[in-house]
């Protein structure tokens, strides 16, 4: 299949934008992220127990579930997005239980039909890959793994084995949206990871401001922003799209012109 993900990372640093499915008018919000210049869309699958997420994304999960968002709705959002934006890569991010509830093959089939390019499953360690990885790979959907400051050189090969799309470097040991890491630490880690893989490396957790995004884009292939967008969805509700587009444009400008 065409590789929307590798294309997105092939023209300089990419902006990866995250929002949670079912929180606000997701279709309009996603369109705003694309219009603002996001290169990759990360769509959160809501879960009752998002234990790697900070308060902003936890609250988004609860709002989405409170709105009655089902797995079927997430898939519809993805399918409609693919129809409207045939070239923009779309990645689902979430937790293992909703992804494997009906079996990994069911999920992989559904994602293929929806035109999803990759999956980030936060609590599926490489050690448990067989629960989802083989089914995704069989359908050409990229299992995107996370590497963290605690992932040392001895462990990195195991994390990279079977992963595809890009590597998501979690720049702080912690939860989403909280503190941010020093740029020196990010640079050293990205350089270290790049000795192990040719996959693009995107850096996330705690990135909110264009200045931070610019610094990271000088050394990494992608910058992931999530909680800052979620905050806008919460604050502005149905008026969120214009604010999302404005923030995306600023971040995209910083990322794309960093080098």
Partner 1 sequence: MTENTPNSFRNQPDDRGHFGQFGGRYVAETLMPLVLDLEKEYRKAQGDSAFKAEFDDLLEHYVGRPSPLYFAPRITEELAKTAPQGMGAQVWFKRDELNHTGAHKINNCIGQILLAMRMGKTRIIAETGAGQHGVATATVCARFGLPCVVYMGQEDVRRQSPNVFRMKLLGAEIVPVTAGRGTLKDAMNEALRDWVANVHDTFYIIGTAAGPHPYPELVRDFQSVIGKEARAQMLERTGKLPDLAVACIGGGSNAIGLFHPFLDDPEVKLLGVEAAGKGLHGDEHAASLAGGFPGVLHGNKTYLLQDEDGQITEGHSISAGLDYPGIGPEHAWLKETGRVEYTSSTDDEALEAFQLLCRTEGIIPALEPSHAIAAVAKVAPTMRKDQTILMNLCGRGDKDIFTVAEALGVEI
The C-alpha R_g of the chain, in whole angstroms, comes to 17
Q: How far is CA 196 from CA 12, 137, 200, 257, in A?
A: 20, 21, 11, 27
In the list 76, 79, 100, 162, the residue contacting partner 1 (rule: CB under 8 A) is: 100
> DSSP H helical segments within the chain, as ranges?
4-8, 26-36, 55-66, 71-84, 96-100, 104-114, 133-138, 156-160, 183-194, 210-217, 227-236, 240-256
CB of 39 to partner 1, least distance (A): 24
Q: Judged by CB under 8 A, does residue 22 bind partner 1?
A: no
Whether 70 and 192 have beta carbons less than 8 Å apart is answered as no
| Nearest-angstrom CA–CA distance, 155 and 217 | 25
| Nearest-angstrom CA–CA distance, 249 and 88 | 16
Q: Judged by CB under 8 A, does residue 180 bind partner 1?
A: no
In the list 80, 139, 174, 249, the residue contacting partner 1 (rule: CB under 8 A) is: 174
In the list 24, 26, 38, 47, the residue contacting partner 1 (rule: CB under 8 A) is: 47
Overall size of the chain counted in residues: 259
Scan residues 210-229 and list those touching partner 1 (CB under 8 A): none
Whether 5 and 165 have beta carbons less than 8 Å apart is answered as yes
Q: Judged by CB under 8 A, does residue 134 bind partner 1?
A: no
In the list 39, 71, 212, 245, the residue contacting partner 1 (rule: CB under 8 A) is: 71
Helix axes 26-36, 240-256, angle to 10 degrees: 30
Please identify every residue annotated as catalytic. 42, 53
C-beta closer to partner 1: residue 32 or 99? 99
C-beta closer to partner 1: residue 71 or 212? 71
Structure tokens at 147: 């590497």
Q: How many residues bind partner 1 (CB under 8 A)?
A: 42
Q: Judged by CB under 8 A, does residue 51 bind partner 1?
A: yes
CB of 199 to partner 1, least distance (A): 15
Scan residues 72-91 and list those touching partner 1 (CB under 8 A): none
Interface with partner 1 by CB under 8 A: which residues?
47-52, 54, 58, 62, 65, 70-71, 95-101, 122-125, 127-128, 131, 145-152, 155, 159, 170, 172-175, 178
């Amino acid at each position: 299949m065409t590789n929307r993900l590798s294309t997105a990372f092939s023209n300089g640093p990419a902006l990866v934008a995250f929002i949670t499915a079912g929180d606000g008018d997701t279709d309009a919000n996603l369109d705003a992220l694309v219009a603002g210049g996001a290169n990759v869309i990360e769509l959160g699958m809501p879960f009752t127990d998002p234990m790697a997420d900070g308060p902003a994304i936890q609250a988004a999960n609860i709002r989405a579930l409170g709105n009655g968002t089902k797995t079927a709705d997430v898939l519809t959002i993805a399918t409609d997005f693919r129809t409207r934006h045939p070239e923009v890569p779309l990645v689902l991010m979430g937790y293992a239980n909703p992804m494997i509830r009906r079996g990994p093959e069911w999920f992989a089939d559904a994602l293929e039909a929806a035109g999803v390019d990759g999956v980030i499953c936060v609590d599926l360690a490489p050690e448990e890959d067989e629960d989802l990885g083989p089914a995704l790979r069989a359908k050409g959907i990229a299992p995107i793994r996370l590497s963290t400051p605690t992932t040392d050189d001895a462990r990195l090969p195991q994390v990279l084995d079977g992963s595809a799309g890009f590597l998501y470097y979690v720049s702080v040991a912690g939860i989403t949206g909280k503190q941010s890491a020093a740029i020196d630490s990010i640079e050293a880690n990205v350089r270290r990871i790049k000795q192990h893989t040719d996959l693009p490396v995107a850096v996330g957790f705690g990135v909110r401001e264009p200045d931070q995004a610019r610094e990271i884009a000088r050394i990494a292939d992608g910058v992931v922003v999530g909680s800052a967008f979620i905050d806008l969805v919460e604050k502005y509700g149905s008026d969120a799209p214009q604010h999302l587009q404005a923030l995306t444009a600023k971040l995209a400008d910083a990322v794309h012109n960093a080098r």
